[in-house]
Amino acid sequence: MKKLSLLLTAVLLTVGLTGCGGGKTQSIGAKSEGEKVKKEIVVGASPSPHKEILEKAGEILKKEGYDLKIVEFTDYQLPNTALAEKQLDANFFQHVPFLKKTIEEKKLDLDYTVKVHIEPMGLYSKKIKDIKELKDGAEIAIPNDPTNGGRALKVLESAGLIKLKDGELLTKLDITENKKGLKITEIDAPQLPRILEDVDAAVINTNFAIEAGLNPTKDAIVIESKDSPYANVLAVRKEDKDKDYIQALSKALTSPEVKKFIEEKYKGSIVPAF
């Protein structure tokens, strides 16, 4: 009877402990049921140079057990929306002011982890070889989005063509002096290389210039200073900033291997920001 009583007590204690634990046992440090280790990282990117830089980073990630999947975008609006809607794990196509402006306008819960490179913006032309050849009343095309448009206007100001009000997000309405009477035309950034024949000159983002076969260091009449604040960044959802796969991607993009790749492949037209 004593043995039976002890056995029943042990069974009751086991049932009671199991009930307090929700009916599950789990060793310390084990993953909760249904939780998986993420090994595929989906990143949205512009074709050049962002995709090319990501491909180099992907080689590093592969050694760490991650598979990098790159989704190409050719515009500046969809990648942030796709990231916010969780179609992407991250994106790599934009500089800091553009990201901040988009977050503010669209109320997106995004941020960035690392600054990767700077793409100096340049003034290009099929009609002139020197800024001194630019005639009065000449037409110059610039990007039509607020951040790149203001940046392009500062390139023109640095060349002595116009003067601007102080500020960051400037438009052609903020021009305070235009002695040559230049006509400033705002165009979608990806279209700028295609309309070079139709205007006297255009201020073009380096990624679109490279795609069109233009070499910023050789073909640009005027080029933005290399100490530009417009560093291109890896954008992520705030909730994911500290996750292992995002940290691994950030580390790979700012590795010595990627720095060497940028310096050797782009030869100064694109500059590492780390």
The confidence score (pLDDT) of residue 20 equals 35
Mean pLDDT across the chain, nearest whole number? Answer: 87
Answer yes or no: is pLDDT of 40 > 80.
yes
pLDDT in tens, 101-148: 999 999 999 999 999 999 999 999 999 999 999 999 999 999 998 889
Distances (CA, A) of 187 to 29, 195, 218: 54, 9, 24
Indicate the pTM of the whole model. Answer: 0.74
Q: Which of 144, 185, 193, 137 is nearest to 161 (CA)?
A: 137
Which residue(s) pair with 41 in the sheet?
68
Nearest CA among 52, 222, 77 for reference residue 151: 222
Q: Which domains does the chain have, with CATH numbers?
A: 40-120+229-272 (3.40.190.10), 122-223 (3.40.190.10)
Residues with Cβ within 8 Å of 163's Cβ and at least 6 positions away in sequence, in order, are 157, 175, 176, 177, 178
Phi and psi, residue 174, nearest 5°: -95, 10
pLDDT at residue number 268: 85
- State which H helix or E strand residue 149 sits in: helix 146-158
- What is the rounded CA–CA span in Å between residue 115 and residue 151? 18
User: pLDDT digit string (tens) for 143-190?
Assistant: 998 889 999 999 999 999 999 999 878 999 999 999 999 999 999 999
**Span 202-206, average pLDDT:** 95
pLDDT band, residue 227 (cuts 50/70/90):
confident
Q: How do residues 143-152 score in pLDDT, each as one tens digit?
A: 998 889 999 9
pLDDT higher than 70, residue 28: no
Which residues have a Cβ under 8 Å from the Cβ of 49 and sit 6 or more positions away? 117, 119, 206, 207, 210, 262, 265, 266, 270
Residue 222 — very low, low, confident or very high, per pLDDT cuts 50/70/90?
very high
- For 51-88, the pLDDT digits (tens) are 999 999 999 999 999 999 999 999 889 999 999 999 99
Helix/strand number for the chain, H first, E second:
9, 13
Q: What is the DSSP letter of 196?
A: G
Which is nearest to 258 in space by CA: 110, 105, 107, 249?
249
Exposed e or buried b per residue across 107-122, where buried means at least 16 C-beta atoms within 10 angstroms of its C-beta:
ebebbbbbbbbbbbbb
Of the chain, the end-to-end C-alpha distance in Å amounts to 77
CB 268, CB 140: distance < 8 Å:
no
The CB density around residue 73, as the number of other CB atoms within 10 Å, is 19
**Is pLDDT at 29 greater than 50 in this prediction?**
no
Confidence (pLDDT) at 208: 92
Backbone torsions φ then ψ of 175, nearest 5 degrees: -75, 125
